Structure 1
Amino acid sequence: MTSTSDLPSHAAAWSAHDGLPLLRTLATALIGLDAITGLDGFSLPYPDEAQRALNRTVLTCVLQGAEPPASLPELLQWCRYRPVSDWPLDLPSDAIGDTDHLLDPDSGRPTELCHEWAERAADSAVHQRDREIIRTALRLCRECGEEDAYTEFRRLLVNRPVLTSVEFFEVSNDHVLDPVRELIRRIYLPVPASHLRAGAYTTCERCLTLLIPVQDGSWWCERDQCRRQGPAPVGNLWPADEVGELFQLERPLRQFVTGPGRSEVALEQALTELGLRVRMWPGFDAYDLHVTFPNGRVWAVDVKDWAHPAFLGRAARPLAPEPPYDEAFWVVPQYRVDDRPGYQDVYRRHRPASALGLPLFTDTELISHAATRLRNAPDGGSRA
């Protein structure tokens, strides 16, 4: 765990702001409400976490001399339509962007940033569901000496976040995945009826997750990257009376494994097309991509598809030394930097001293860097 003394002074100062714990409380409450009620079916008495979030928001407003929300429905309206930057909160400058919302204005669902506030914002060690699952899968596959099983498990989470009942049965009985069979059965959950429109489920063609029907007849995709590219393209259409029960990965895994995984696979393809040899999740997921140039020079790459650059900076750690490499990079999808000006600067300000040598490139920059290296030295450059 990173100690406060290991953090840059800019990052360590976060703990001095009273608004940060409230944002974490709000984010946790919103995700809990969404899972239980869909954010539109709650009634008195409110769930404990939601009531706690409302009470703390009211108190904060009173202390700031601002008009507080009068009820939980009004608080939800704040979360959906009022940028967090407009709330009467004591927050550090890097904590939020001008247009950040906790709930998506169009769908009313928790934003990716909301999920990051709930999962990533704590200053001390917290329960992070996605890391718990990945660590468990690693342990199970290592105990069996099956690195291929772990690689296939990761590809499953990246490429198949939604399974029909027939596919779920087939995956659960795939012998390659034997070490993680029970784990798979725990992390793929039945899809709620709120995803149905006209008796059918629909996936996003771009990111492969399930689309959520919106009242105006459109679709909402939970991935920021898809929404910024325009209306969600319809992928698979599964009538409920034909496919029976449908299963999807639990949200933390869709958010922090499937999402970045799509970027990892796209980067793998781009680098392979340049003529480089790419190995995915080597050494039981020591890092994401092991990239070998024609002369044998190796890059180690970890892809991080995070909305909040300060959270990413605070999480920065040197890459594992094995399998060995010559250079190491963290990579973020280009759209994250386009969406939040100064993303890489914020990352650098919050990066701990132990990771000062870990650069953050966009995927576009890394591909260009690799192409330049190949163009300037066809053999991949010297090891000097």
Structure 2
Amino acid sequence: MSEPPTFPGFLADPDVRLLRDVATAVVRLDAVTGLESFSLPYPPQAQRALDSVILACLRRGARAPSGVPELLSWCRTRPLGSWPLDGLSAAPFDRSDRLIDRDSGVPTQLCHELAVEGRGDSATRQYDRLVVHEAMRLCRDANSPESYSAFRRTLVTRPVLTQVDHFELSTDLYLDPVRELLERIYVPVPDSYLRRGVYTPCERCRTLLTPLSDGGWWCEHARCRQLGAPPPGPTLDRESAGEVRHLRRPLRLYVTSPGHAEVDLEGSLRTLGLSVEMWPGFDAYDLRVTFPDAYVWALDVKDWAHPGLLGYSAKDVRPEPRYDEACWVVPQFRAEMRRDYLAVYARERGARAGGLRLLTDRQLVRAAAARLRGERGDSARISPRISMPEGTDHA
């Protein structure tokens, strides 16, 4: 019999593990039936999560949810700071975090990050990795790293396809090795995205906006929500656009969303005059940056809602293609949403990370500019040897 999984830090707290069980149930319910239309019998995971929450409430003399529907209502209407689970107060969650988005009714990114499947990864993360690894295999078999880069860039820049878009992709020779895979990961858009017969993409991130009952819009990407009300882009009429398809949600969350940060960072570094290779070595890491003196940085961009879970997952950047320094990079808006983001990551980072630093994209660009100016001290380094305290963002 295998030993039960062990978790470091705050993840070992029984209340946090219970919350992960609830998050897993929410994600599975959403994947199987959608949170608005589930019916009896409930999936076993949902019933087990409910039973565990009821027991925890009884032990604390707190009112418990009466059933799965009320538990889902808790996930949507009650921020984690109001749950009767004492262990959550000591965990590095924001008290306003929720497992289900209050406006759209879909699982939050935090919910997906908390959900547990197999050895600790959520089913959502397993799916996106399976797709990416299959694309790597197909492109390796075709001896075409250009095809893999084209695949990744497609998922970032074209999360939604009309029939015309679909035809254009079908004639792109770089995408030949992954054509069948693309057919499987783009799915028909449900009617819940329609308003008066049209779909409306977000002007910023190009994913489809969800219409709200008050006439507004909801964008599933946290970066867009941080920037304010999502700007509606040119609409897609269902009749004239033909069948509209979009990427499956795990790919939109974990490939498209961070992909925007990767492509934006690529643009900023190229503007400095640096040579940038995207997803080198079939995605060994995200950006390979080469300075004029042939010094190389390896960058992995991460766009996670919870810095503690990101720290728990941290590990050394793969050594090939070779580089001189490496770090992980997080979009600046994450550090603005949570001022302790970098500090929490550093605190929860395990030994297997080897001191791997996390910088905001703004910090990274400043360090690159400093190195180009000839500086060689801490301000121009990204490796663990840098002495600048974690979480500091020098202006």
* Same-fold status (TM-score > 0.5): yes
| Deviation digits for residues 275-310 of structure 1 (CA, Å, limit 9, x no counterpart) | 111111111111111111122211111100111111
Q: 1:287 aligns with which of 276, 285, 292?
A: 285
Looking at structure 2, the residues matched to 108 and 40 of structure 1 have their Cα atoms a distance apart, in angstroms, of 8
Per-residue displacement from partner, 1:305-357 (whole Å, max 9, x unpaired)? 11111111111111111221111111001111111231112111222212133
Distance 1:132 1:35 in 2: 17
Cα distance 1:232–1:145, how it changes in 2: closer, same or farther (>3 A)? same
SS in 1 for 2:187: strand
Match of 2:104 in 1: 107
Residue of structure 2 in register with 1:17 after alignment = 13
What's the counterpart of residue 297 of structure 1? 295
The AA in structure 1 aligned to 2:58 is: V
Alignment pair present for 1:116 and 2:113 = yes
Match of 1:58 among 39, 54, 57: 54
Q: Which moved more, 1:90-99 or 1:105-114?
A: 90-99
Alignment equivalent of 1:344, drawn from 318, 342, 345: 342
Amino acid corresponding to residue 373 of structure 2 in structure 1: R
Residues 75-119 of structure 1 show CA distances to partners (whole Å, capped at 9, x for unaligned) of 222111211122122536335211111111222221111121126
Return the offset for 1:47. 4.2
- More displaced, 347-356 or 305-314? 347-356
Give 2:75's aligned residue. Answer: 79
| Structure 1 pair 122–12 and aligned structure 2 pair: CA distance change class (3 A) | farther
In 2, Cα distance between equivalents of 1:126 and 1:227: 24
2:306 is matched with which residue? Answer: 308
Q: 1:274·1:371 contact (CA, 8 Å) conserved in 2?
A: yes
Q: For 2:121 and 2:98, how far apart are their aligned partners in 1? A: 25
**How many Å apart are 1:170 and its aligned residue?**
3.4
Unaligned runs of 5+ in 1: none
Map of 1:252-271 to 2, 5 A cutoff?
252-271=250-269
> What residue in structure 2 maps to residue 160 of structure 1?
158
CA offsets per residue over residues 110-144 of structure 1, 9 Å max, x none? 1111121126x876466511111111111111111
Q: Which residue of 2 aligns with 1:333?
A: 331
Deviation at 1:28, TM superposition (A): 2.6
Structure 2 counterpart of 1:26, one-letter code? V
CA offset at residue 67 of structure 1? Answer: 0.6
Counterpart contact for 2:205–2:224, Cα < 8 Å? yes
Deviates more, 1:66-75 or 1:165-174: 165-174
| Equivalent of residue 234 in structure 2, options 221, 228, 236 | 236
Please give the root-mean-square deviation of Cα atoms over the aligned residues, in Å.
2.5
Q: Mean alpha-carbon deviation: is it higher for 101-110 or for 257-266?
A: 101-110
Q: Deviations over 1:234-281 (max 9, x none)?
A: 113101111121111111111111111000000000111111111111
Contact 1:27 1:102 in 2 (8 A): yes
Aligned length: 373
Instruction: For residue 99 of structure 1, give the secondary structure of its aligned residue in structure 2.
Output: coil
Preserved contact between residue 94 and residue 346 of structure 1 (Cα < 8 Å)? no
- 8 Å CA contact 2:10–2:91 kept in 1: the answer is no
SS at match of 1:258: helix
Moved more, 30-39 or 65-74: 30-39
Partner of 1:220: 218
The equivalences for 1:367-378 within 5 A come to 367-377=365-375
1:69 match = 65
Which amino acid letter does the alignment assign opposite residue 80 of structure 1? Answer: R
Query: Aligned partners of 2:234 and 2:315: how far apart in 1?
Result: 38
Corresponding residue number in structure 1 for 2:25: 29
Query: Residue 87 of structure 2: SS of its match in structure 1?
Result: coil
Deviations 1:138-165, CA, capped at 9 Å, x for gaps: 1111111110000000001111111113
Q: Aligned partners of 1:366, 1:152: CA distance in 2, in Å?
A: 25
Q: Point out the more displaced range, 66-75 or 49-58.
A: 49-58
SS of 2:297's equivalent? strand
Identity across the alignment (%):
53
Structure 1 length normalisation: TM-score?
0.90
Deviation larger for 326-335 or 174-183: 174-183
> Structure 2 length normalisation: TM-score?
0.88
Letter in 1 for 2:177: P
Measure, in 1, the Cα distance between the counterparts of 2:277 and 2:64.
Answer: 53
Q: Retained in 2: the 8 A contact 1:172–1:184?
A: no
CA–CA distance in structure 2, aligned partners of residues 374 and 318 of structure 1: 25
Whether the 8 Å CA contact 2:115–2:122 is kept in 1: the answer is no
Q: Give me the whole-angstrom Cα distance separating, in 2, the residues matched to 1:293 and 1:211.
A: 40
Moved more, 211-220 or 353-362: 353-362
Deviations 1:145-195 (A, max 9, x none): 110000000001111111113322432453211211111111111111111
The change in CA–CA distance for 1:65 and 1:132 in structure 2 (over 3 A counts) is same
Q: 1:35 to 1:165 in 2, by over 3 A?
A: farther
State how far apart, in whole Å, the 1-side matches of 2:179 and 2:52 are: 42
Deviation at 1:35, TM superposition (A): 4.0
In 2 relative to 1, CA 306–16 (structure 1 residues): closer, same or farther, beyond 3 Å? Answer: closer
AA at the equivalent of 2:274: L
Alignment equivalent of 2:36, drawn from 20, 26, 40: 40
Quick one: which of 173, 176, 180 aligns to 1:175? 173
Q: Secondary structure at the match of 1:236?
A: coil
1:102 maps to amino acid: L
Q: Is the 8 A contact 1:194 1:212 kept in 2?
A: yes
Secondary structure, counterpart of 1:107 in structure 2? coil
Instruction: Identify if the C-alpha distance between structure 1 residues 102 and 61 changes in structure 2 by more than 3 Å, giving closer, same or farther.
Output: same
Instruction: Answer with 368-377 or 97-106: which moved more.
Output: 368-377
Distance of 2:14 and 2:355 partners within structure 1: 31
